Chain A
Amino acid sequence: MSYSVVIIDDEPPARAKLARFIAELPDFRVIGEAGTVEEGIDTVSRTAADVIFLDIQLGNHSGFDVLDALAGTAAPLVIFSTAYSEYAVKAFELQALDYLLKPFDRDRFTRSIERAREALKEPDHSDLEERVRRLLAQIPGRPANAQQILIKDSDRAFFLSVGDIQRVSAAGNYIEVHACGKVHLVRDTLTTFIAQLDPGEFLRVHRSHVVRIGFITQMRPLFHGDYELVLKDGQTLSLSRRYKALLPAAIRERL
């Protein structure tokens, strides 16, 4: 069993270098290469890769455009490779998984691969998806998030105001949208649904739970560094270590 990799970079030598490094690994194989944003989106959605190496500057476009197009799908792990980018520094504070600054050597590449191996062993990548979601929200020039969301309930379809949503939870093949004390059961995945929500207002606190920041009242420590969140309606949600690290510092301190 080996992990599949897609390399997206507009310069052939840069792709060749990564491909050569990866070819030496027993547990990774390159299943696709792309030189433009369109090719990248196409390749990733066609191949269901485990990992993508993504150049941030793709000609006149940005590698983030690839992630944008993939938002709401079960995204692969992303390792950025970049020569230099003004927003890279800011974006990397949230590190999707890792980033390689060109030119990089084999040691630095190996460290990235080790991080990827660790992350791929975990059954749940939702925290990494959350990192990408927040990273994309930080990049200037993104379209504004919707104010109304179309909800297809069991018997009807209607628009729900985003301002009314308190939290969203996964429940098997469905998600529960809690709004104004009511619960709407929608056939959708959490990842797809929250792609429509503003990461500044809604935090993913667990692979199965997304909650409005203002709806959290308390954070109680549990064992092993895990926490419990108390919501305004009195319900509690667990907050794992991995997700706690994702909370913005300002919110961690406030709770």
Chain B
Amino acid sequence: MTSDTPIAASPRPASKRGWLNFRWALFVILGILLSIYQGLNQAIATHGHYPTWQPLVWEASSVFVVFALVPLISRFENRYRVDSRPRTQTVLIHIGAAIVFSAVHTSGMVFLRKLAYRAMGDFYDFGDVPTMWLYELQKDLITYLVIMVILFAIREFRIRRAGELRAQELAAQLSEARLRHLTAQIEPHFLFNSLNAISNRMHEDVDAADRMISQLGDLLRAAYESDDHVLVPLNRELGWLRGYTAMMAERFRGQLAFEIEVDPGIESVQVPRLLLQPILENALKHGLIDGRGWLKVEVRSDSGTIRYTVSDDGVGFPDKPLRRGTGISNIARRLELLFPGKHELKFSSRQPHGAVVTLSFPV
């Protein structure tokens, strides 16, 4: 029987309200500038035929309606993305949407113009409706296409930037984990106590002492590995684990027992590097104090998911909410970056005492 220990969720980033307001202001200013620019151009082109306010009203009314519709179009495009499949269906949907857009744009525009003319004591005549509507439609199809291209470009830019940031952070988190790993293996206590245990063991059993030296060698080699692969084959992750647990079992012989169970046939599956090390380190430091007890690591594969379970019969988690150490925060963050929303990191208590850490991710 296990009971879950809640872990405080990391707080959401600070409100983006200020930035949003700024972007809306920019959008409105852009609309006004575009209206004036188009209006002035129109006024120059039709110079002498109409009072200057009329071309300005034509263009401003048009731009106003387009800009008012852009948020709706953006939401619609998000629902039926231009790059989504099946392609024919998407194109048909957007052709339909473009015609609706044109109808709404033209009628909104004409309505605004009639209001403006009336305000100036004049009367606005749209002209022959079918002809004018077709004229507006060909312009609106181009406008709709331009809006689509801009929305698509903005989204692609954001995705790429987020991907770059993610890759950068992942690299930083990984190098932190590697540094932590290196530090743990060449940590003076670990190294000198291991050497001392070997110097004792060789008087009892030369072969066992030999094995310990080669295990220590493997651990140091793993620590000095300098490639920056994010994912490594499972057997590399397990190689470190086996060496480390064997060394600790020798140092605390008769007090500390380790068990490692791995589902067959998954040794070459690619897994994130150094996820187990902080968990084991925690279990030994905070759970199995005085170096007594047992610790079991299980690696299971289940329909595309790898699950690590690390359980011990130590003192377990404190009753108060857990405060994550830097090692655990690091693995939580790396899992989030590698498998957003698709991973699990759970801390529970064992009865009558002890701790269980479960970690799973897709492969």
Contacts and interface: CB of A to CB of B under 8 A. Distances in A.
Interface of A: 10-14, 16-17, 20, 35-36, 57-60, 83-84, 101-105
- Nearest first, the 8 closest Cβ-Cβ pairs linking A and B are A83-B192, A84-B188, A17-B200, A102-B196, A13-B197, A13-B200, A103-B196, A103-B195
B197 A36 contact: no
Given A13-B251, A36-B290, A59-B289, A84 B200 contact: no
A36 B195 CA distance: 21
Contacts of A59: 289-291
Contacts of A60: 285, 289-290
Given A57-B189, A83-B189, A10 B291 contact: yes
Contact of B200 (A14, A35, A36, A83): A14
Nearest to B285: A60
Interface in B184-200: 188-189, 191-193, 195-200
B253 A102 contact: no
A84 B192 contact: yes
Given A12-B251, A83-B192, A101-B192, 6 more contacts: A12-B253, A14-B200, A57-B189, A83-B193, A103-B195, A103-B198
A11 B251 CA distance: 6
B291 A11 contact: yes
B64 interface: no
Q: Is the interface of B mostly helix, strand, loop or mixed?
A: helix
A13 B188 contact: no
Nearest to A59: B290
B199 A17 contact: yes
A84 B196 contact: no
A111 to B, nearest CB: 17
A36 B289 CA distance: 10
Contacts of A103: 192, 195-196, 198-199
B194 to A, nearest CB: 9
A16 B196 CA distance: 11
Contact of A14 (B188, B196, B254, B255): B196
5 contacts: A13-B197, A60-B285, A102-B193, A102-B196, A103-B192
A37 to B, nearest CB: 9
A179 to B, nearest CB: 44
A83 B251 CA distance: 13
A101 B191 CA distance: 12
A13 B290 contact: no
B236 interface: no
B192 A13 contact: no
Contacts of B255: 12, 35
A120 B244 CA distance: 42
B12 interface: no
B117 interface: no
B293 to A, nearest CB: 12
A58 B189 CA distance: 11
A13 B250 contact: yes
Nearest to A35: B290
Contacts of A10: 252, 290-291
Nearest to A17: B200
Contact of B196 (A13, A20, A36, A58): A13
Contacts of B188: 83-84
Nearest to B199: A103
B320 interface: no
Interface string B188-228: 11011101111111011000000000000000000000000
A83 B290 CA distance: 16
